[in-house]
Amino acid sequence: MDICKAHENASKCSVNTMKCFLVLSTQAQKISIATLCGLFGTLCIFENSLVLYLIFSSPGTRRKPSYIFISSLALADILASIIFVCSFVNFHVFNEIDFSKETFLLQLGGVNTSFSASLSSLLLTALDRYISISRPSEYKLLMTRKRAWIALVVLWVTCATIASLPLLGWNCCTLNSTCSELFPFVDDNYLSIWICFIMVLLVCIIYAYTHVLWRAHQHVAYMEKCQVQVGRQNTRMRMDVMLAKTLVMVLTVLVLCWSPILVLMIYSIFARLSNHLRKVFAFCSTLCLLNSMVNPIIYALRSKELYSSLRMVFSRFRRQLKASEESPEVESTHKSSMIET
Q: What is the pLDDT of residue 252?
A: 85
For 13-46, write each residue's pLDDT tens digit: 666 678 888 888 889 999 999 999 999 999 999 9
H/E run at residue 335: helix 304-340
Three-class SS string for 170-182? CEHHHHCCCECCC
pLDDT number for residue 10 = 42
Within 13 Å and on the Cβ side, how many CA atoms surround 312?
11
pLDDT at 251: 80
Alpha-carbon radius of gyration of the chain: 25
CATH of range 24-306; options 1.20.150.20, 1.20.1070.10, 3.40.50.2300, 1.10.167.10: 1.20.1070.10
Identify whether the C-beta of residue 116 lies closer than 8 Å to the C-beta of residue 198: yes
* Alpha carbon distances (Å) from 141 to 121, 135, 234: 21, 10, 29
Q: What is the pLDDT of residue 59?
A: 78
Task: For residue 88, list its beta bridge partners.
Answer: none
Nearest one of 201, 223, 185, 208 to 10, comparing CA atoms: 185
Which pLDDT value is given to residue 244? 60
Using 50 as the pLDDT threshold, list the residues of the chain that sit under it.
1-3, 6-10, 230, 236-237, 239-240, 330-331, 334-341
Report the candidate in 188, 167, 191, 162 with the shortest Cα–Cα distance to residue 176: 188
